[in-house]
Structure 1
């Protein structure tokens, strides 16, 4: 596995990185295991202070960090700045709330005994991170676990190696011990070796279904906890009382954010039949009006995809949908220039018999469906192997909430989609994975919830 920065806007390899040897992996596990003994005993206030320092560094170095994101995986600079700010807020949230989450809880169970629950770390953890939100997704995993007192081995995506180095640098400078957080340029086989090591107590992966299944299998065979955040094919249901143009414009913008490369992007847009044609036309006009270009240029709304392979996969999915009978209203083609460029697309007429109905399209492709009743919309929305998040849009918030509660997802929204905040749980059901990150829920995924009982 080659770790390198290949700028997706140009196709030029700008930097290459040296992969870890098996001996490097062995030493890293030893270091992290040894560090756990002292890091877990470090006062919670000191661990919180270090995380607050990380948050401040992300704020102070925001433009630098955002520029690396844009260069490595093509995210428009303004969107990359937003990601850096979100990452900073996660480190700060755990710095602010971590000590409270560690407080002992006394249980009243109707006898004279003293029953106390304490929250303790479990040891060395392995994190396998993706490229699409390269700083936010590391923060989601690292911040709560470092606050808890676990130590971390981190494998970043091969195209985000510089981001991996920068995060490690910032954490160490802020006071996280060098052996408590170790960035590793390792292969898939080496990840398996790490998970199998008895000193490693758990693994968290954000990535594809295939990668998740492989990691979960290895973890299960070794009786270890795993948390998976995998794909999604999020439904977005528009009810018939919305401001059509405003909603269509908002939805189109949401779908094209990060060139559509988000697990929780609204990939299936469900619209009442009575406003379908006008809604589609507005989405098409909005998408065609979004500047596609250099992710570092001011005003760019859609950059390249993260890689040529990713671009080719998305284009192939659009072409196959059209071959199977879908209607392509705009875009969907590879652009004839160096890099991983694709014209953003809008599809309609996708039916259950087509591949695009079940697949996750990880690119700038809006798929719009028509429905005749709310019950039908909910049925279509829930007819998916995925279950990450979904949303309902309406002026009638009570009605929208009732519909949102019917969605079989881990996160249901009304009049917004994919909102992420440090204190909110993040995760899905079905083939979108299991476990939760962020907030108090993410804090205890890799914790020993220990009962201490003293007989009266």
Structure 2
């Protein structure tokens, strides 16, 4: 098999080529890692308070480059331009929040020991952190791990998904406009084989991946084989429960947004909609009508709600999951057909009669396809929600918020739960999952301590 020498990015709205990027040589990769480590040796000596100032400056540079970065993300992966702008705003919020809490979270802690001695706990940076990131949030995914790692005092390497290489390179330029040491944040334009050598490089001390469960198993095994800490944020098929006492109109509005936001290509998107039979028909009719009316088209147009799938192969895979689900008994309530014309578009789709054994029930459908499932009652709905190998997020719609909170806390086997809303990431709240959705947490201060040496210093 001939080894590709360049990456070609393609606009999913038009299907036309955007740019070509040359892969780095093996020697260039080694030099980049060494340079990042050298920059880390300088960066780790800077106080958290002073690091925070530079983190703030990264946020300011993101604001200056907002329109350029947003347009490039839309061109490379197809999300609406409005949502690309929202993504940049979230990145700025991450910088501001991390700069605010970072010095306090990383502050040395004095502790009384049980043997009457004294102890001190410090959070020391470990070195170079390698991030392998996906295409669905070209900026946010990068900023999420890199800003936490930089605040902690580490160096950062990035291997971005090939179809958003331009976004990764632009972020590198934005970071470089600040006072961070040269090479501290470095984008590696490399293939999978080269990526494996980065993981085993002795200067790399931590590995973080956002991607599919299969990718997580692969990278997790490679990192653990090299005895390196890893954080894995993987896929999911998040369940949103509509209870008997739910506000149906609110639930429909939130569930439609939850399924089509970011073109439905979100790990934490609402994917399975589990509705108790008492309100199933009402929800079903209103939900299908709303999904049928979703405006699909050019993501640069303000009125567009749903842009194209990021790549043609991903659209084909999504459609095959729909076809296979129908073969096994699911019914198409709306959508479900690949449209004619240019670009990699796929309509907002609702599948009914979704049962175990179907891809729509078992797997992650990474696109605007909703799985509608009927439950006998609230308890049965919770059982179905947890009947999944995934455990990232989920939601509950109920007017009894206290009861919903209790169910979320005690019974929802996920890392995140949203009550009467569809939610995305927030810098103040931990982000991550359980089961095949991965391990480790980002945001909320927790991400700052994933790649540090929590060191005990004891004295009399």
Q: What is the CA-CA distance between 1:362 and the residue it aligns to?
A: 0.5
Q: What is the CA-CA distance between 1:36 and the residue it aligns to?
A: 1.5
Partner of 1:427: 432
Partner of 1:378: 382
1:349 pairs with one of 348, 353, 361: 353
Is 1:412 matched up with 2:417?
yes
Give aligned pairs, total: 455
Mapped to 2, the partners of 1:373 and 1:431 lie a distance apart of 27
Mapped to 1, the partners of 2:55 and 2:359 lie a distance apart of 44
Partner of 1:336: 340
2:236 pairs with one of 208, 221, 232: 232
Is 1:446 matched up with 2:451?
yes
Mapped to 1, the partners of 2:334 and 2:343 lie a distance apart of 21
Q: Deviations over 1:186-216 (max 9, x none)?
A: 1111111011011110100001112111111
Mapped to 2, the partners of 1:4 and 1:42 lie a distance apart of 39
Q: What is the CA-CA distance between 1:142 and the residue it aligns to?
A: 0.3
Where structure 2 has 5 or more consecutive residues not aligned to the other structure, the ranges are: none
1:37 pairs with one of 37, 41, 44: 41
2:97 pairs with one of 53, 72, 93: 93
Partner of 2:315: 311
Partner of 1:23: 27
Q: What is the CA-CA distance between 1:259 and the residue it aligns to?
A: 1.4
Q: For 1:168-187, list aligned pairs within 5 A.
A: 168-187=172-191
Mapped to 2, the partners of 1:287 and 1:417 lie a distance apart of 16
Q: What is the CA-CA distance between 1:114 and the residue it aligns to?
A: 2.1
Alignment TM-score, normalising by the size of structure 1? 0.98
- What SS class does the counterpart of residue 362 from structure 1 fall into? coil
Mapped to 1, the partners of 2:180 and 2:96 lie a distance apart of 14
Where structure 1 has 5 or more consecutive residues not aligned to the other structure, the ranges are: none
Mapped to 2, the partners of 1:63 and 1:179 lie a distance apart of 25
**In the alignment, is the contact (CA less than 8 A) between 1:4 and 1:160 conserved in 2?**
no
> Greater CA deviation, 110-119 or 67-76?
110-119
Q: What is the CA-CA distance between 1:66 and the residue it aligns to?
A: 1.1
Q: What is the CA-CA distance between 1:4 and the residue it aligns to?
A: 2.9
Q: What is the CA-CA distance between 1:250 and the residue it aligns to?
A: 2.0
1:437 pairs with one of 421, 428, 442: 442
Q: Deviations over 1:112-131 (max 9, x none)?
A: 42200000100011100100
Aligned alpha-carbon RMSD (Å) = 1.2
**In the alignment, is the contact (CA less than 8 A) between 2:254 and 2:421 conserved in 1?**
no
Partner of 1:194: 198
Alignment TM-score, normalising by the size of structure 2? 0.97
**In the alignment, is the contact (CA less than 8 A) between 2:294 and 2:348 conserved in 1?**
no
Mapped to 2, the partners of 1:109 and 1:45 lie a distance apart of 28
Mapped to 2, the partners of 1:47 and 1:236 lie a distance apart of 40
